[in-house]
Amino acid sequence: MSKVGTFKILRAVRLPFLDTNEQVVHEAGTRSVQTLKKQAIKLFYRNVMISPLVDYAKQVKSPNFPQYWKVLQCCTTLQQSQNKYLTPTHRCGSRLCSICANIRTAKTVDKVYPLFDLNKKWGYLTLTRANKDLRSASAEKLRDVVIDMYWQLSKIRQRAKRKFGEIDAVITLEVQPEGYKRKKETKELYYGYYNPHFNIIAQMEHLEFIKEEWLKLIICSEQNQNLEEVLPENLKASLLELVKYTMKGVTTFKKASKPFFINLEAVDTIMTALKGKRRLITWGCFYKKNIEKIEEAAIADLDLEKYIYNDIPITDIGNRVGLVDGKGILQSVTNEFIKTVYWEFDNRMCNYFYLDDWGDKHWLLNMEKIPEKPQVYFTIGRKKYQPEISTLILN
């Protein structure tokens, strides 16, 4: 009577992976594969910006280097557990990260929008200041200017309360970095300075008063204080545009036919100047909902930790086990699943991959098209900057 034993198939005897194509329904944690594809594209563009910023911060020994490095690692590894759940092993929560910023933006809009009375007349106001004094400004100078802007806005609020009572408003602070920019009308290239400004959604009569008072307190051009009425059907889109200013960080990539520029020194200066400063402010009924806490909350508190992508075939990655008789002749094959698998993000292919025991790559997504790199030039002030390690990450 022959013995029957078991052994794990080695590299010399290759057997294919099992693929169960499980379709699992999970109430709150189910997503479409299109969501994961969009995340991969966002990672691709985000890393194009962040990796040179990591280079620069390391070179100048910026205190923001740890934050930039965490952004670069965010969502680049997915842990597959129980052969179906996909979970990012690391989320940074930074304003510079497009993935984490989108989560905060969505949560903020979901909480704010139901509070709007659509029967009232709402508007969108941008408040700026003269910025010639901010040419090549230090982080300390920029921070002092922002603090003063907040102080002037608080004085206007007190005046408005005496006239109207409590005002309902959502306000965000945006600071555009110094660097080469293009004019909207002519697309002509020019060098602009730091541009801190407020974006406000409130009732029209309140915004008109706020604009008048701002012009009395701040040295600025009246034509740059833009006030527009927002129709009810456009209110949610306007709110999304306003909120993402504070959540998206200091710059993001845009689809443009002509090259654009990112001043790494200016981005780093803004991150230092605004560290610890709240960029989302709410008045009136919006304040009572503690919406500002979303900006400081951990991403794990805002989003589910793991998801099942219900229209993607998740491969049951596992070792194949052969059953042999006493002579070593293979009789049958069974499986021994690995409970946890890690998918790493490949920025060149804009896709997640896993290396099996034989060194072969298995791709998680069926990406029909790899995104094109944007036409972007990195600078330090007016000088072109050539990153060192980003070529290893992106090329």
According to the model, what pLDDT value does residue 320 have? 54
Residues 6+ apart with CB under 8 A from 2: 325, 326, 327
Secondary structure (3-state) at 244: helix
Taking the CA atoms of the chain, what radius of gyration do you get in angstroms?
26
What is the residue extent of each domain of the chain?
Answer: 21-93+303-318+338-395, 107-297
Indicate if the pLDDT at residue 45 is higher than 70: yes
pLDDT, tens digit, 9 for 90 and up, residues 232-280: 999 999 998 888 866 554 445 555 556 778 899 999 999 999 888 878 8
Task: Report in angstroms the alpha-carbon separations of 50 from 91, 95, 310, 320.
Answer: 15, 12, 31, 41
pLDDT, tens digit, 9 for 90 and up, residues 288-303: 776 667 766 766 666 6
* Closest to 56 in 3D by CA, of 379, 325, 395: 379
CA angle, 389 then 78 then 110, to 5°: 100
According to the model, what pLDDT value does residue 250 have? 47
Indicate if the pLDDT at residue 42 is higher than 70: yes
Residues 6+ apart with CB under 8 A from 62: 56, 268, 272
**Cα 262 vs. chain centroid, distance in angstroms?**
17
pLDDT, tens digit, 9 for 90 and up, residues 120-136: 999 999 999 988 889 88
Give the global pTM: 0.79
| Average pLDDT, integer, range 162-185 | 89
Task: Report in angstroms the alpha-carbon separations of 139 from 54, 189, 231.
Answer: 18, 25, 38
pLDDT, tens digit, 9 for 90 and up, residues 314-326: 455 555 555 566 6
According to the model, what pLDDT value does residue 101 have? 84
- By mean pLDDT, which of 8-17, 39-48, 219-228, 314-323 is the weakest? 8-17
- How big is the chain, counted in residues? 395
| Average pLDDT, integer, range 306-319 | 55
**How would you class 268 by CB atoms within 10 Å of its CB: exposed for 0-12, middle for 13-18, buried for 19 or more?**
buried
Strand blocks (E) in the chain: 5-8, 30-31, 77-81, 85-88, 122-127, 169-176, 179-182, 189-192, 195-203, 227-230, 260-263, 280-283, 308-309, 318-324, 330-337, 340-346, 351-355, 361-363, 376-380, 383-384
Secondary structure (3-state) at 282: strand
Beta bridge partners of 200: 125, 171
Amino acid at 62: S
pLDDT, tens digit, 9 for 90 and up, residues 70-88: 999 999 998 887 666 788 8
Rounded-to-integer distance, Cα 291 and Cα 191, Å = 36
Q: What percent of the chain has pLDDT over 90?
A: 33
